[in-house]
Structure 1
Amino acid sequence: MTTTVLPPGPTVPRAVQGAYALTVPRRGVRRMRERYGDAFSVDVPIFGRAMVLANAAEIKQLFLARPEVVENIEPNLGRVLGPGSVFALVGEEHRRQRKLLVPPFHGRRLAAFEGIVEQEAVREFASWPQGRSFATLPSMMRITLNAILRAVFGAEGVELEQLRRLLPPMVIAGSRLVMLPLAPVDLGRWSPWGRFRLMRREYDAIVDRLVDKALRDDRLDERDDVLALLLRSRYDDGSAMSRGQLADQLLTLLSAGHETTATTLAWAVERIRRHPDVLRGLVEEVDAGGRALRDATVLEVQRTRPVIDLVGRLVKAEGLRLGRWTLPRGHKVLVSIGLLHEDESVFPNARAFDPGRFLGARPDLYAWIPFGGGARRCLGAAFATMELDVVLRTLLRDFELAPTGERDERWHSRGVANAPGRGGLAVVRRRTSRTG
C-alpha cells in the first residue's frame, strides 16, 4: 500500500475555511503560502479536501500526467454547461470532442475571424464618451459577445439578437451557480437553479432553430462559421455530433469566448493606463505597424491579472506521486494560477508589471498558465489571443488613452472570473492624426 504524503494546512472546520476563501480569496492564498509554502492542504465547500499547488515543477508534472492518472476536477463547469461540454467529459470521449472543436479556432479559419473582431470593436468604440471616465468592461463584453456569436453562427438574424439578450445574464448566473456548494435544486423561478434552467431551455430552443436553418442552407459546405464546421465534422467512426452535444459545446464556446476575454481586455486598459512608458511604446508601435510590445503586454496582463485563478485535477489512479507528495485516489489538486504567476523563482520581480520580460521570449506554458495546461488547456486560447490583439490594436490606433496615477483597481469576483473592481476605467479622446 502506498503511504499518503500531503502538505500541511489549516485544521479549522470546512465552513470556516470556506468563509475565509470567499471573503479574502487572493489575500488568503498568499497568507497560506507564507505560512505553509508553495503547497498546502485545504478543506473547503464544493471540493472538500484538496491540495493547493503553486510549485512550477510539480504543476508541470500534474499537467503532463495521463488522463487515466488524473482527470478534470469534479464538480466543474459541466454543472452549468451541460453533460456534453468538454468540461464534463473525461477520457476517450473528451479526446474525441476536442478533436472536432480545435480546428475551427486555428490557422486560416482563425485569421478569417480577425475582420469580425475589428468590425465589432470599431462599432462599439464609436459610442465611447470622450474626455470623461467610464468603465470599459461593459463595452468589452459586447465586443467579445458579438464577435463570438458571429464566428460561431455566421450571418446575423433574429436568433442572434435573442442570444445577445439571453447569454449575458445566463453566463453571469452560471458562473455564480458553479461556485455554490448546494445541490442543483430546481424550484422553477423561485430558485437560482430553476431560473438558470429556464434560460437554458430558451437557449436550447434558439440553437435548435439555428441548426435547422443551417441544415436547410444549400451553401452549408461553403460556410466558414463554427456551427457549419461542426455540422460537417465527423468522429473517427463517421458519426456526427448529436444535437445535445452540439448545444452543450456551442454554449461552452460562447461562454468561454465571451466573459474571460472581455475581462482580460478591461484589465489591459487598467494596467497600461498606470504604466505611461508602456502606453507610449504601444502607441508608437501601432503607428509603425508593429506588434511585439503589444504581444508582450497581453502576456504580462494575463500573468499579473489572471481572470481565472484556479485549475483543478482529480486523482483517478490508485495513487499519484507528485514531487514531494503522494496523493490517494480521489484526492483533488487545485493549481493556483495567481500564486504561480507571482513566484519570484519563475518570474523575477514578479509583482512588477513589466511586458519587457516577454519581449523576444515566449512564456513557458507550464509556468504561464492563464489558459490552464496539459490535455485540458483552453481550446479557445488562440482565438482569445487574436481577439486581445485586435481589440487593443484598434483601440490604440483610433484613440488616445489617458494615463492615470490612480490606485490600482481592486479585484472583484464575478463568480468564476476576477474582474477589475471599477470595470477598467478609461478616459479617451479620438485621435485626429497619426505618425508613421
Structure 2
Amino acid sequence: MRPPSLPAPKLVSPLFGGLYGLAYGIGGQPLVGRLVRTYGPVVALPVLGYGPVVAVADPALAKQVFTARPDVLLGGEGVGPAAAIYGRRSMFVQEEPEHLRRRKLLTPPLHGQALRAYVPIIEAATRSAMASWPDRSPVRMLDAARDLTLDVIVQVIFGAQTPTEIARLGKPFATLLDLALSIETPIRYAARRLGALRSWTALAKVNREIDELIFPLIAERRSIELPDRPGDILSMLVDARCEDGHGMSDKEIRADVITLMLAGHETTATTLAWVVDLLAHHPAVQERVRVEADTGETEYTEAVINETLRLHPPAPITGRMTAGRYQLGDYTLQAGTRIVLLLDLINRDPQTYPEPDTFQPDRFLTARPNPYGWVPFGGGLKRCIGAAFSMCELTTMLHTLLRSAELRPVSNRQESPSTRGAPVIVPSGGTRVHVTAFSRQN
C-alpha cells in the first residue's frame, strides 16, 4: 500500500507542494502533529523541492528505519538540508563507510576521560555567566543558555581562555548558527537546483571568515610537537588516526569542527532553557536536583534531563532517504523517498508512556529509556555523537546553578513550543525566570 497522503491534485501538485512547505514554515511541528492525528502515524506530504516525503510518528517503524542497512536507507541524503550549513565534507552528512570512519575519529574527544576533563571548564563558565545575570529582573534563559553553551564549546574545542579570544572564535559560528536556524535555509535548499545555495552571499561570507579562522589554527597545531600540543578537541582531531594510520585532512577537520560547534551549542542551549522552565514550575523536582548537586550524585538529575528531552527534543525531526523501493511496515515507498521521523511525536507515544504529555522524571528512574520510543538524539548509525557530552554539560550546568541559586517562574503558565518551522524547537517565550540567591533558610 501507499501511505495516506494529503490532497494535492496532480495538475497543480507543485503549487500544493509549495503551500504545504509554506504552511510548515508558519505552523511548524504543531501543524505536523495535527496532520498525524488526522491521517495516522504515516503520512505522505508533497513538499516542493524535497521530492516525495513520508512523515513517520510510530516507534515500531522508527526502529525499522533506524536499524535498516545504510545502503538501503541513506542517512546523509536523509538530512540533506543540513549539508548546506555543515558542508558536504561533514561527518554528519557522509554515507557509509566514510561516516563510520570519521565517527570513530571523533568519538574519543567526546567520551571517557576527555569528557571528565571538561567538567571544570563547564563549571567555571556557568559561574561566570551567573555573575553577569541581573539580580532584580528576569533572565531570558534561552539567550543566556546560548551565550553560555557557546562559551563552553569554544573553550573545549579551541582551548580559548580569555573572554576576548572566546568572543573572537565564537563570533562566525554564532553567525552560521543564525543562518542554520533561519527559514531561509530550507527555502534555499528546496530551490537548490535553481542555484539558490550557490548564490547565498551571507553563507559564503561567513564560510570565508571560518576558513580564515580555522585553517591557521590547524596549521599551528600541526606545527607543535605531539607531547606539547594542548588538550583541546582541535588538537585531538589533528592527532586522530585511522587503523591504517591515516588522519584527517585540513578540510575534513574544518567540516567536523563546524559540526561539533553547531550541534554542541544550540541543541544543548535549547534543552537547558526547557529544563529550567520545568524546574521553575516544579519546585519539588528542583529541590531533588539541588540535593544531588550537593551530594555529587546524578541519577535523578539525568532522569529530569531525559524527561525534558522526551517532552522537548531540541531537533524534532531526522531523516533517511530510500536508495530503492522500500517496504516500510505495510507501505511501499519508491526510490528517492525522504522518510522524516517525527521525534517529538514518537517520544510522546501513549503506548510507550502513560500520560505522555505530563512531566514525570521518575519514569526514567526505574528503567532505561526505550531506544526507539525515546529518540531525542536520533538513532542507529547516525545517532548524535555528542549525546554523552550534552548530558555531561547539562548535568554540570544544572548542578552548578542550583548549588547557589533558586529558579522561580515569571509566569504561572509553562512555556509552549514555538510554532516557527525551524530545525530546533525553542520555548516560544524564551523561558523568562527569576534566578535568585539560594540559602537553606529560604
TM bucket, shorter chain: over 0.9
**Residue pairs, 1:30-41, within 5 angstroms:** 30-41=33-44
Aligned: 1:106 with 2:105: no
Please state how far the C-alpha of 1:394 moved relative to its aligned partner: 0.8
Partner of 1:377: 383
Corresponding letter in the other structure for 1:92: P
Please state how far the C-alpha of 1:160 moved relative to its aligned partner: 4.3
**Residue pairs, 1:64-213, within 5 angstroms:** 64-72=67-75, 73=78, 75-156=80-161, 160-176=166-182, 177-180=184-187, 181-183=190-192, 185=195, 193-213=200-220
For the 8 Å contact 1:172–1:415, the answer to whether it is kept is no
Please state how far the C-alpha of 1:168 moved relative to its aligned partner: 1.2
With 174-183 and 420-429 compared, the bigger mean Cα shift is at 174-183
For the 8 Å contact 2:410–2:432, the answer to whether it is kept is no
Aligned with 1:6 (options 2, 9, 15): 2
Partner of 1:63: 66
In 1: Cα distance, 2:260 partner to 2:80 partner: 19
Corresponding letter in the other structure for 2:191: L
Partner of 1:231: 238
Partner of 2:275: 268
Structure 1 104/16 Cα, relative in aligned 2: closer, same or farther at 3 Å? same
For the 8 Å contact 1:274–1:404, the answer to whether it is kept is no
The SS at the match of 1:344 is coil
Gaps of 5+ in 2: 9-15
The SS at the match of 1:40 is strand
Partner of 1:300: 307
Please state how far the C-alpha of 1:20 moved relative to its aligned partner: 2.1
Partner of 1:290: 297
The SS at the match of 1:294 is helix
With 408-417 and 231-240 compared, the bigger mean Cα shift is at 408-417
**Residue pairs, 1:213-362, within 5 angstroms:** 213-218=220-225, 223-316=230-323, 318-362=324-368
Structure 1 406/380 Cα, relative in aligned 2: closer, same or farther at 3 Å? same
In 2: Cα distance, 1:235 partner to 1:251 partner: 21
With 231-240 and 179-188 compared, the bigger mean Cα shift is at 179-188
In 1: Cα distance, 2:55 partner to 2:361 partner: 28
Please state how far the C-alpha of 1:267 moved relative to its aligned partner: 0.8
Please state how far the C-alpha of 1:363 moved relative to its aligned partner: 0.4
Partner of 2:12: none
Aligned: 1:17 with 2:20: yes
Corresponding letter in the other structure for 1:142: D
Structure 1 30/200 Cα, relative in aligned 2: closer, same or farther at 3 Å? same
TM-score (norm 2): 0.91
For the 8 Å contact 2:25–2:422, the answer to whether it is kept is no
Please state how far the C-alpha of 1:186 moved relative to its aligned partner: 7.1
Corresponding letter in the other structure for 2:345: L
For the 8 Å contact 2:176–2:206, the answer to whether it is kept is yes
In 2: Cα distance, 1:330 partner to 1:279 partner: 47
Structure 1 74/424 Cα, relative in aligned 2: closer, same or farther at 3 Å? closer
In 1: Cα distance, 2:33 partner to 2:222 partner: 52
Structure 1 426/236 Cα, relative in aligned 2: closer, same or farther at 3 Å? same
Structure 1 434/242 Cα, relative in aligned 2: closer, same or farther at 3 Å? farther
With 177-186 and 135-144 compared, the bigger mean Cα shift is at 177-186
With 285-294 and 38-47 compared, the bigger mean Cα shift is at 285-294
1:101-127 per-residue CA deviation (whole Å, 9 max, x = no partner) reads 111101111111111111110110111
Structure 1 43/236 Cα, relative in aligned 2: closer, same or farther at 3 Å? same
For the 8 Å contact 2:173–2:258, the answer to whether it is kept is no
Corresponding letter in the other structure for 1:271: L
For the 8 Å contact 2:277–2:409, the answer to whether it is kept is no
1:133-177 per-residue CA deviation (whole Å, 9 max, x = no partner) reads 220122211221111111111243776432222221221113324
Task: Note the aligned Cα RMSD (angstroms).
Answer: 2.1
The SS at the match of 1:297 is helix
Please state how far the C-alpha of 1:290 moved relative to its aligned partner: 3.0
The SS at the match of 1:419 is coil
1:243-284 per-residue CA deviation (whole Å, 9 max, x = no partner) reads 111111101101100111011101111122122322232233
For the 8 Å contact 1:220–1:228, the answer to whether it is kept is no
In 2: Cα distance, 1:223 partner to 1:414 partner: 40
The SS at the match of 2:426 is strand
The SS at the match of 1:14 is helix
Please state how far the C-alpha of 1:225 moved relative to its aligned partner: 1.4
The SS at the match of 2:92 is coil
The SS at the match of 1:312 is strand
In 2: Cα distance, 1:68 partner to 1:21 partner: 30
For the 8 Å contact 2:349–2:373, the answer to whether it is kept is no
The SS at the match of 1:334 is strand
Structure 1 88/226 Cα, relative in aligned 2: closer, same or farther at 3 Å? same
- Kindly, what percent of the aligned residue pairs are identical? 32
In 2: Cα distance, 1:289 partner to 1:233 partner: 33
Work out the number of aligned pairs and report it: 427
